[in-house]
Structure formats: C-alpha cells, structure tokens
Structure 1
C-alpha cells in the first residue's frame, strides 16, 4: 500500500518569505500578516483542506549581507518586517482541532529555562499540536542585535545546540513525573512535591538550577523538527530530530541526504521510521497545463531578482553585489547555512556565477517551482515520494491564499482518489498523528533524561 503524502504550508509571519517580490501581486494577501483574522482564516482553510500543519519560519536578524547593508531588504520586504511566530499560534489553534504548528525558534538567543516554559504552554493550549524547528541561526545581524560580535562557527553552533537539547530534555522529560499532579481538593494538595524535581546542569555554555515551571503537557517534548543537511547538521538530525526539512533540489541529491540521515539514526539506536522527511516544494497549478503555465508567467512578472539575491546572500553568506553576472563566485568557508552552499554547488557546479543563480530564481527564490496541471503535479509528488524516500512536503507560499486554494481544490482530490492522501484526520496529538505515540520513543536520546518511574 502506498504511503500517504503529508503537507505543511510553509510560511512566515512576514510580508516576503521565500518567493521574493510576489507580495506585490494584486491578489496576494500577505500584507495582512499583522491581522489576527488573516491567520485564523488561514488556519481554517488549511484544516478544511486536511493539511497536516503550518510550518512557520523565522529569523531574528536582517538580511544585510548583500551590499553590506539592509537597504535592499527593507525596500523589497525581504523577510522584513517580521513578527514573532509564536504569538499567532494560540489564535490559530483556537479555531481548529487538528492542524499542527511547527515553529522555528533560534536556540542561540533563547534562555533554555524560559523557552521550555513557552513551548510547554503552547503544547498545553493546543492540546499537543506543537512542533519546534530547532535552528542555531546564520545571521551576524542577529548576533549583533543582542551584543555579540557575530555568529559562532557553523559546527560550534551545533555543539552548543547539543548541550541546549540536554537541558530541554531534562526540563520537559525529567522535572515532573507523570503522576506528580494530584489535584486533591479534599486534602488541598495540588501536586506531590516528591515527584517534582530540580534540574541541575553545569555545562560549557549553560548553568541551570531549577525545576520546570509547567506541569507535563500532552507531548511533554514538542515534536522536533530540524532543517540542516550539512554533515554536522545530519549528525544533529539523526540524534535529535523527528521531522527533517530538506531543501528541494535534484531527487538523487535529496535521496542521498535522506538515506544518510536515516542510516546515522539507526547507528545511534533509533529506527528508520523514527524520522519523517519533508522536502521544500513550490507548486503552481491549474486545471490544465496551459492554465498553470499562464499563472506561472503572471507570477513571474512580479518576482524580484534583487530580493532573491538579498535573501540568497544572507543564507549563503556571500555578498553577490561584488560580482559581475558571469564572474565565478568564490564560496570560501561560509558560516551561514552550509547545506545551502553545498546544494548550490551540486546544482550549478563548482564554478557557479550570479547569472546561473538568477536563472534558477525564476519566482524570486532558489527553489525551482513545479508547474503543471493538477494531474501532473500529483504525478510529480508521487514520484518524489517513491524516488527520494521522503514523507511529505513543506509547500512554500507564492500568491496567498490562492496557492493553497489551488492545492486544496485541485491537487488533493486527485491524491485522495489514488489513495495517496488522507480523507480525514486521525485523532491525537501531533506526535500521535505522525508516529502513533504521544511521547518520544524510549530509543530517543531524550529518554535517558526521564525521571525513573
């Protein structure tokens, strides 16, 4: 029996997310990002379409690598202005029952004790529909905003993240025992103090002496997402992640990453199916191929080459303003998103140029769009599942809301007819929907930090 495809809407609490410039399209509604009803209507729409979740990206700095200034990012709304993604989740959860929420939060700038409380609170308020996309950041501007000179080296950030995760597991899994809460009104005992434990940690980066402030939430630990596919990132994913987000590129490149991460996970005592992989995809579709192509050309007229270069410069750590169109680009040793540099090299070759990059960014991003009729899109998605071994897709917005309307109205019914997409939600928390269990598996590294029960 074929596996069912999972869909997350991939977005950000901002005007311009991945497809730079499309906010200027007359039908696009992303300028309403600061309106609460925009997000609640969005959530209702996605749940009616049986989307698994909405995956909210985030950055806590500005894209100022291009030209050494943020001017172009400000002009083109390149992920600026950007609001906090965590703040909109309770409102969306309040108008839905099943839609899940994957939130990107940068651990580098979050005190673990306070962040643990915020995530537990969201897990409580959503009934266990929260996931955390673990990132360590790539923008010097973010580091400087909190008083640092710049970001740490790429692999050093992952070392810090490993220690951070240990603290989170201790707080979420080890501080409160499962039966600590008694709610005994007669004896006026809310919780058994013997079953609520202080967490003591003395590490290279962090010190902690405290008990977790929250009683156990439905999932305790949120579903763990991770989006780095560099060598060090794969090691981190194989150790910690439950869901892995990889950038769309050639099928064989994605398959190699997927196979490597799953192999590493098995070597750490986990099972291959302990991880689900979502590949980034941009879809432009219609009832016919002609309709889809016309829509694509319409969208393309609004794509911003400058905005695309501004975003690429920040995420690749390369100032493209210094290069002529056909001048070979020197990547050097980047401390930004190393996997993005590696992906570009695989796609454009070792001697890539700004012209080659711009040729790929037809809709304002490096992600090549899938364009075709709903039947053709369904074929392509099914092929990706079979050939790359992925479990689903993070669908990047183009012109909202029509991009998701098209998928819901045109593509999903075809996938359902083929038995490739659910016709109803299953019950339970996000982790139960994905893996059939409410808690992290005993073979996950977090299990060793649980209080003996």
Structure 2
C-alpha cells in the first residue's frame, strides 16, 4: 500500500523497516527490483479513499499508529516501478464507487500502455462511510447496491476498452498519412441504471491487454457472484484450511454457473511469513518484530469495517448482539452479510486485542524454509488455492528473507517457477497467447465490432 502501515500495524517502528520512505521514488524502484529478482508475478497495491475514524470517534489511534494514514494514490508509483523492471506485474486498487467509467478506462489503458501490458485492477466498491462523506455523500451506499453499481460500471468499462477501437484500427501509415482508420473506431453508448456514456469514442487506442487483469476480494455471497462474473483473480482468506477450501470451491462453482471455466479464476490466499535458517532463529525474529506491533492499531482498522466503536464497551464487557443492535441498528443492516459487525458469544474488547498480537488478525507462519514450504504445499493441496498474496511485515527484510530462503526450497520441490515467461501479466497468469479476456468472459461480449466482422 502506498502508505506507512498496511496490514501488520506498528511494525513500521522496527529499526530495519523502511516503510516511512513510501513517498520516495527509490522506495518503489528498489522494491520492484527485489520482487522481480524473486520472480514474483506482481506487486499488489491496496488502497482506501477514506480514513479509519470509528474507534474512539476519531483518528487518535489511526494517526498515531499510521493505520493506513497517510495514504497516497497507488497508480502513480506504477510507471516508476515499470521503468525499473521488465516482467513484474502491478495490481492497482481503485474504488469504482467514486469513479466514472469513461475517465477511469482511459487511466487504466494508459497504465497498461506504460507497463507493456503488466497492469491489473483490483475492483473494490468501498466500505468506509468516511470515504462517502469525503465526496459529499451522507453515507456509503448499501452493501448489495454497491455491487449492483459495480456491474453497471463494468459494462460501460468493457464497452469502452473492448468495443470502441477494433484490432487493426491503428495503422500509423506515414506514407498515406493515416494514423488510425476512423471506420474501425466506434462510438460507445451505455445507459444503465447508474452510469451513462453518451455516444463517445474511447480516448485511448487498445493497450496490450485491452482490459487490465481483473482482481476482486469480495467476501460475501453477493461479492462472490460479482467475482464469478468479472474477476480473473480473487483474494480471499479463512481461519482454517477447511474454510478456505469451501470458499475456493464456491467461487469456482459460481464461475461455472456464470458460463466460465472453473480455472478461469485464480484464487489467492493471504499469507504472512517470518522465516530464518533455524526454527529458534525464526521464533526470535518473530518475538523481535512483535515488540513493535500495535494491537490497538489493528482494532482501529477492524472496527472501521463494521462501524462499531468498541471503545463504547469496557475492556471486559461482553459485546452482544442486543447491545450492538441498540447502538447501531441501521449501520449493521447496511454493511451487509460480509461485515455484519457480529461477534461470537463472550467476546470482549480485551479478547479482540489479545487476538492481534502481531498488529493484525492475520497471524504469520513462523519457521525454517523447509517448514514454510511444507505449509505452503499443504495449503495448496488441501484447499485448491492457486497462490498467495504475501503481506509485508518488516520491509524490505520480510520480502528478502522469503526470496533468499523460501523460494529456493519451493523451486527444489517443483512448486515455484525458475524463470519468467514472456508476455503480458494475463499471459503470465493464464498462458501464452491469452493477452486479452477470453471469449467466454462477460467483458468479451461487448466486442460488438468483432460480431459485425463475423
């Protein structure tokens, strides 16, 4: 994330962490070159457009602990990293609720051009009331309504990127003095329930991928249906392997129901790793890191997703459904099934803090290279996930440790590539010759010029 503190809050304070340099170009170029040396497929850039201001009714904890505040726009660091690398992909988070398809399509096509087809878009619809207020709304739209808006946004987005300029529209013919064939550039009309594009041509010529690789991370069943229709890569997570396996199977089944193949969607689980050459050294490293972690920062992050200010409860006061409904009846209805704000019986604020000793609800995998590789192999075998979103702890040390210690172990087992394939990000993920959305993807149905030619 283009900020100081991302997932494991408080670790920016560690003396070997360089996250406070996030606003310097060298931070990003050095990170990109490190990840490319490790043959990572992509660097994923998260983002929010609001602020975590629920805990305590303000930003005291958020600002003190740098809980994704301050946060800069993720798109602007992509060309910097692309210039310093050849293969690394870039997943960029953008909240469609506060964008318009016409200008956003131009922005993503521009990034795809500047990266030679290495960009992806992580589609989010938002979950912070503070973001809605920042753009003049009273509060964010209801949970399912945000996904309905997303479906409409993407239909217009596909029409612009897939349906306006034909393949071969760009001639660049100096002798004839013809750069583009106007007969192969088509107006886009879209009038949906939320967005309108009134007879315009897309501003950019087709980029190497046309549509960026589409990422999504919705956890609700409505979010999973949205992913089944649009996403090519899905980020997910679960407290145990059985739960993760159910999520993976559900996403793939929904994709098939949407007319796609089960393997059209790559599923990635989040993973944090602390590794060293011996188990004792890895545990020592974990304890060293943990001294800087902020459980309170993690709580400030969590409660902004539910809208429940847990400081209204005593440390040992049970957080019950009845108390929540009395305090936040409308809020709990609006956040939807994915973030219902409910807590297991007996939950207290003290317990929630104790469950976040590493500055996040996500606990790291701690061990030797062999132990880490064993766990990764088991996760893939038992859940069916395609890969992992490796979260940073102490940066760049955590990436370097993984690259130098874990990747060689995975390569020896045949579980990790030994070189990059050529091509776009989509081709690296799905195979050579698959630079564009496949014909069975919903977005491909908007290539009206292709149907006319047929």
- Tell me the TM-score range normalised by the shorter chain: over 0.9
1:397-443: per-residue Cα shift (whole Å, max 9, x none)?
A: 00001000110000000000000000000111010111121111111
Seen in structure 2, the aligned counterparts of structure 1 residues 63 and 433 have a Cα distance that, compared at 3 Å, is same
**Partner SS state of residue 452, structure 1:** helix
Tell me by how many angstroms 1:314 deviates.
Answer: 1.0
Tell me by how many angstroms 1:379 deviates.
Answer: 0.6
1:445 to 428, 442, 446: 442
Alignment pair present for 1:181 and 2:145: no
Q: Quick check: 1:13–1:56 contact (8 Å CA) kept in 2?
A: yes
**Partner SS state of residue 76, structure 2:** helix
Task: List structure 1 runs of 4+ shifted beyond 6 angstroms.
Answer: none
1:262 to 246, 252, 273: 252
Q: Which residue of 1 aligns with 2:297?
A: 307
Q: Which residue of 2 aligns with 1:361?
A: 356
Alignment pair present for 1:296 and 2:286: yes
- Quick one: distance in 2 between partners of 1:75 and 1:419? 44
**Partner SS state of residue 208, structure 1:** strand
Tell me by how many angstroms 1:387 deviates.
Answer: 0.8
Q: Which residue of 1 aligns with 2:51?
A: 62
Q: Quick check: 1:377–1:411 contact (8 Å CA) kept in 2?
A: yes
- Quick one: distance in 2 between partners of 1:407 and 1:218? 31
**Partner SS state of residue 86, structure 1:** coil
- Quick one: distance in 2 between partners of 1:22 and 1:426? 35
Q: Identify which range, 353-362 or 189-198, moves more after superposition.
A: 353-362
Alignment pair present for 1:325 and 2:315: yes
1:350-396: per-residue Cα shift (whole Å, max 9, x none)?
A: 55332332232121011111111111111111111011110111111
Q: Which residue of 1 aligns with 2:338?
A: 339
Task: For 1:111-126, list aligned pairs within 5 A.
Answer: 111-126=100-115
Q: Quick check: 2:67–2:301 contact (8 Å CA) kept in 1?
A: yes
Q: Which residue of 2 aligns with 1:392?
A: 387
Tell me by how many angstroms 1:341 deviates.
Answer: 5.3
Q: Quick check: 1:138–1:335 contact (8 Å CA) kept in 2?
A: no
Tell me by how many angstroms 1:315 deviates.
Answer: 2.2
Q: What is the TM-score of this pair, normalised by structure 2?
A: 0.94
- Quick one: distance in 1 between partners of 2:375 and 2:339? 23
Q: Which residue of 2 aligns with 1:8?
A: none
Q: Quick check: 2:295–2:354 contact (8 Å CA) kept in 1?
A: no
Task: For 1:34-73, list aligned pairs within 5 A.
Answer: 34-73=23-62
- Quick one: distance in 1 between partners of 2:281 and 2:31? 25
Tell me by how many angstroms 1:198 deviates.
Answer: 1.0
Q: Which runs of 5+ in 1 are unaligned?
A: 1-11
**Partner SS state of residue 249, structure 1:** coil
- Quick one: distance in 1 between partners of 2:157 and 2:334? 25
- Quick one: distance in 2 between partners of 1:360 and 1:337? 24
- Quick one: distance in 2 between partners of 1:440 and 1:147? 35
Q: Quick check: 2:9–2:360 contact (8 Å CA) kept in 1?
A: yes
Q: Which residue of 1 aligns with 2:241?
A: 251
Q: Identify which range, 314-323 or 184-193, moves more after superposition.
A: 314-323
Alignment pair present for 1:402 and 2:402: no
Q: What is the TM-score of this pair, normalised by structure 1?
A: 0.94
- For these two proteins, the number of residue pairs brought into alignment is 438
- Quick one: distance in 2 between partners of 1:97 and 1:308? 36
Q: Which runs of 5+ in 2 are unaligned?
A: 326-331
Q: Quick check: 2:296–2:353 contact (8 Å CA) kept in 1?
A: no
2:190 to 170, 185, 201: 201
